[in-house]
């Protein structure tokens, strides 16, 4: 009986701890990533090296490192901005879809309309945030930094207010694939947004920056923002509290046992022999009396099919012993009210037998 109780308690503890751990992992993985790629002609060697094949390969590796539960929205921009359908990463197939998007992309745009891209991307970020405010929004913009908007739009100015990024706590990574550091619009954007915007220099080692450094920086930033309620320490405290509560409950329940002695005799006989049974010795919460499997006190001559039971119950701060009849026989109290606790010396009858309960 004790072993079964402990197994149950341990099972509950393990279940709660596993749920807590799952909650921790879930909190860590919940990211909405907006991946933005410059597809203007400058990315394939016009005025520089053709970095597009290496960038696409590295992006496939980057996507492979995203966690289950993340979502990714792929955006390309040149003269125009194209936003691909958002994909929720619940399986390997989802990542394969995103990688297919990457392979389909070609850098053919005549112009690089940076401002239109930023307006569109921040709009998408706001929409994702409205769906679930508990998730982290991460924006990754990959560009060589050559800002060359279409004719008629070159005098446009850009502010945080224009793109609706005021007071947002999004993580924004501007990945420098060329001359990004010399782009005054991006420099102004980083200055206005402040600490949540990071420029990642990938002009020298594209693969290392995208496949290793960027993902590491993203996870580190998201981890740093997690509140105490999402931290491993909080879940450790939950486990400790659950363990302590389980221990105290077990200790309290393990003290609820039937104690005392039970004298019994066949009252249909002229001169019955009175026998005595030490209840305390069994150290159990429930004592079955009668015939059959699992019976603590076997009385073959007791004319019942179902056993009756003595059981202990905590009433406020005291433990009392009760007697309860089986299905096919009445339990008649000679002394004491039906359903009330047994007191020292109380007598009750079940079928052809009488029983006297004594405390000691």
Instruction: Return the residue matching tokens 């420099």.
Output: 187
Q: Do the domains 261-358 and 30-222 match in fold?
A: no
pTM over cut 0.85:
no
- Report domain extents, the chain: 30-222, 261-358
User: What residues contact residue 166 under an 8 Å CB cut-off, 6+ apart?
Assistant: 160
Question: Which pLDDT tens digit goes with each residue over 205-238?
Answer: 777 777 677 777 777 777 666 655 556 666 677 7
Kindly state the percentage of the chain with pLDDT values over 90.
Answer: 36
45/154 Cα distance (integer angstroms): 23
Tell me the C-alpha to C-alpha distance, in Å, between residue 242 and each of 16, 47, 249: 8, 64, 10
52/65 Cα distance (integer angstroms): 20
Question: Which pLDDT tens digit goes with each residue over 119-173?
Answer: 899 899 999 999 998 888 999 988 877 677 888 776 666 555 555 565 677 888 8
* Cross-sheet strand order for the sheet of 318-324: 297-298, 286-290, 308-315, 318-324
Q: Options 3.40.50.300, 1.10.150.20, 2.60.200.20, 2.60.40.3710; which CATH number does 261-358 get? A: 2.60.200.20
Within 10 angstroms of residue 253's Cβ, the number of other Cβ atoms is: 13
Q: Closest Cα to residue 149, out of 173, 117, 191? A: 117
Say if CB 279 and CB 322 are below 8 A apart: no
Say if CB 288 and CB 298 are below 8 A apart: no
Q: Options 3.40.50.720, 1.10.490.10, 1.10.10.410, 3.40.50.410; which CATH number does 30-222 get? A: 3.40.50.410
């Amino acid at each position: 009986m004790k072993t079964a109780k402990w197994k149950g308690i341990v099972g509950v503890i393990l279940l709660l701890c596993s749920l807590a751990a799952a909650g921790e992992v879930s909190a860590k993985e919940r990211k909405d990533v907006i991946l933005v790629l410059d597809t203007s002609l400058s990315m394939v060697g016009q005025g520089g090296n053709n970095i597009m094949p290496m960038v696409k390969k590295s992006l496939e590796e980057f996507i492979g490192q995203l966690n289950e539960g993340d979502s990714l929205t792929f955006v390309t921009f040149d003269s125009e901005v194209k936003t691909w359908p958002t994909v929720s990463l619940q399986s390997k197939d989802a990542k394969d879809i995103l990688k297919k998007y990457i392979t389909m992309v070609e850098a053919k745009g005549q112009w690089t309309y940076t401002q239109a891209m930023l307006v569109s991307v921040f709009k998408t970020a706001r929409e994702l945030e409205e769906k679930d405010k508990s998730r982290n929004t991460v924006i990754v913009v990959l560009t060589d930094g050559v800002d060359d908007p279409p004719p008629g739009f070159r005098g446009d100015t850009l502010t945080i207010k224009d793109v609706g990024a005021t007071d947002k706590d999004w993580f924004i990574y501007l990945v420098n694939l060329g001359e990004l550091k010399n782009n005054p619009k991006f420099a102004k954007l980083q200055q206005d947004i402040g600490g949540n915007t990071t420029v990642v220099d990938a002009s020298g080692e594209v693969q290392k920056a995208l496949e290793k450094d960027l993902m590491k920086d993203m996870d580190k930033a998201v981890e740093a923002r997690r509140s105490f309620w999402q931290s491993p320490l909080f879940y450790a405290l939950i486990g400790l509290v659950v363990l302590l509560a389980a221990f105290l409950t077990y200790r309290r329940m393990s003290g609820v046992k039937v104690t005392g002695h039970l004298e019994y005799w066949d009252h249909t006989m002229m001169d019955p022999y009175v026998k005595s049974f030490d209840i305390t010795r069994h150290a159990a919460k429930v004592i079955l009396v009668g015939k059959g499997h699992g019976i603590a006190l076997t009385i073959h001559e007791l004319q019942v099919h179902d056993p009756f039971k003595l059981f202990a119950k905590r009433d406020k701060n005291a433990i009392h012993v009760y007697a309860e009849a089986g299905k096919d026989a009445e339990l008649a109290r000679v002394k004491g009210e039906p359903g009330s606790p047994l007191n020292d010396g109380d007598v009750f009858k079940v079928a052809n037998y009488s029983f006297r309960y004594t405390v000691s």
